């Protein structure tokens, strides 16, 4: 693969503007990717998703549910958790752990 040299003539201020515009565009794209998540978050979680979110095992999640630390909802034979309840319980668990 041969290298080619391309010579262009820009005024320093014009070159600065071109570089500035390119950097601004790249930064805006990166910021937008952090602000807008690519997929919406689920509001109703399965037992497995809840355990993974809290980084706990399924038996521990079952124990928290039995002790009413995390409120569970039954949909037929399935157990589900609301995301907001999980985060509220997480705050309670953290407070109890620091006490």
The string of pLDDT tens digits covering residues 35-76 is 766 566 779 999 999 999 989 999 999 999 999 989 999 999
Angle at alpha carbon of residue 98, lines to 96 and 99, rounded to 5°: 65
Q: Alpha carbon of 53 to those of 16, 83, 92, 96: distances in Å?
A: 46, 10, 15, 19
In a domain, 9, yes or no: no
Number of domains in the chain: 1
Domain that holds residue 55: 44-98
**What is the value of pTM for the model shown?**
0.54
In a domain, 18, yes or no: no
pLDDT interval class at 34 (50, 70, 90): confident
In a domain, 16, yes or no: no
CATH number of the CATH domain containing 79 = 1.10.1660.10
């Amino acid at each position: 693969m041969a290298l080619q040299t391309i010579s262009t003539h820009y005024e320093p201020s014009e070159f600065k503007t071109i570089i500035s515009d390119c950097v601004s565009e790249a930064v805006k794209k990166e910021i937008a990717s952090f602000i807008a998540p690519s997929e919406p978050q689920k509001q109703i979680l399965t037992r497995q998703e809840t355990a993974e979110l809290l980084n706990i095992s399924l038996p521990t999640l079952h124990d928290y549910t039995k002790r009413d630390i995390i409120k569970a909802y039954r949909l037929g034979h399935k157990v589900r958790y609301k995301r907001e309840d999980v985060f509220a319980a997480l705050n309670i668990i953290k407070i109890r752990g620091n006490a």
